[in-house]
Structure 1
């Protein structure tokens, strides 16, 4: 289940005589799993001309009660304004969203989905949710809870977890 780069790292540790590899092996398993899930996600979205970033914007806009500004979208998606501009341009080119002047401030722009964007967002969100559920289908509720607790404990030891 390990990616070749992780296998190589563990092999080098063994070559250098490091006997304690358990924590490292599990870390590399987790990284390999994350990479596999990311790749599967990309493979599912690519035939629709979407990236994960574009997908995130679709469901953020679909779930919004009112049009959102590019700045609001960047904050909610956790990306830069420059990244948002490129994502919005692509979705607008594909007729999945429209930009409109803000009625209160003509210098600002608001973004909303077109009917086609709305339909795609609903369809994809449901499909994506079902796919993610299927990844964990063989785990019992107790196993999922245990896994979640362990992942939270590991997260808390990362720099990001300590800063949170």
Structure 2
């Protein structure tokens, strides 16, 4: 059984006390939240020895294999973060020697972000390690179970406000 946070235990107890219907659905939601929190914690622990957060790791991954680099606004768009957020991530990665900013000789307003040797080596190693670890989370699942699990997650997604507002093409992606 998945270990729930105390607040979720308390909410379940209160829902039972009030004889709320669908307590099993509440529990399932709380189990999913506990699972995602555990995955996030594990991810943070795996990246911490490299002085990386998930956001910094994403930036390294996006820059890996980009010999000419990417602009800060391209990185922000691809990472799905704001420009001030990407600036903070880039500042930290540059300070730690993972990347460098390169000015355009023709237009000094344009900046290209490129990985350093350290950043390239770290991105290569961590991407392989990270994807292998993620793969182990679903170890033992058959192809059919993965398809079924994905379909169940899609059903839950469609019941969220975000899922209801998403375009039909996005809501139905698998």
Tell me the TM-score normalised to structure 1 length.
0.94
Q: Which residue of 1 aligns with 2:170?
A: none
| SS of equivalent residue, structure 2 residue 64 | helix
Provide Cα deviations, 1:34-60, integer angstroms capped at 9, x if missing partner.
000000000111111110000000000
Runs (4 or more) in structure 1 with deviation over 3 Å come to 63-66
Q: Which region of structure 1 is more displaced relative to structure 2, 126-135 or 94-103?
A: 94-103
Instruction: Specify the alignment match of 2:18 in structure 1.
Output: 16
> Which residue of the partner structure matches residue 107 of structure 1?
109
The residue number in structure 2 matching 1:88 is 90
The residue correspondences of 1:136-155 to structure 2 (distance < 5 A) are 136-155=138-157
Question: RMSD in angstroms over aligned alpha carbons?
Answer: 1.3
Listed as ranges, the matches of 1:5-44 within 5 Å are: 5-44=7-46
**Which of the numbers 64, 70, 73 marks the counterpart of 2:72?**
70
- Give the TM-score of the pair, scaled to structure 2: 0.89
What is the rounded CA distance, in whole Å, between the counterparts of 1:8 and 1:113 in structure 2?
A: 47
Distance 1:128 1:82, change over 3 A: same
1:84 is displaced (CA, Å) by: 0.7
Distance 1:160 1:64, change over 3 A: farther
Structure 1 residue 19: deviation in Å?
A: 4.0
Q: Report the number of matched residues.
A: 164
Query: Could you tell me whether the CA contact under 8 Å between 2:67 and 2:114 is conserved in 1?
Result: no
Cα distance between partner residues in 2 of 1:63 and 1:160: 33
Cα distance in 2 for residues equivalent to 1:42 and 1:141: 28
1:106 aligns to what SS in structure 2? coil
After TM superposition, the structure 1 stretch with the greater mean CA deviation from structure 2, 79-88 or 100-109, is 100-109
Post-superposition Cα deviations, 1:81-112, rounded to whole Å, max 9, x if no partner, equal 11111110111111110101134532121101
Is the counterpart of residue 158 in structure 1 residue 160 in structure 2?
A: yes
Question: For structure 2, which runs of at least 5 residues remain unmatched after alignment?
Answer: 167-174
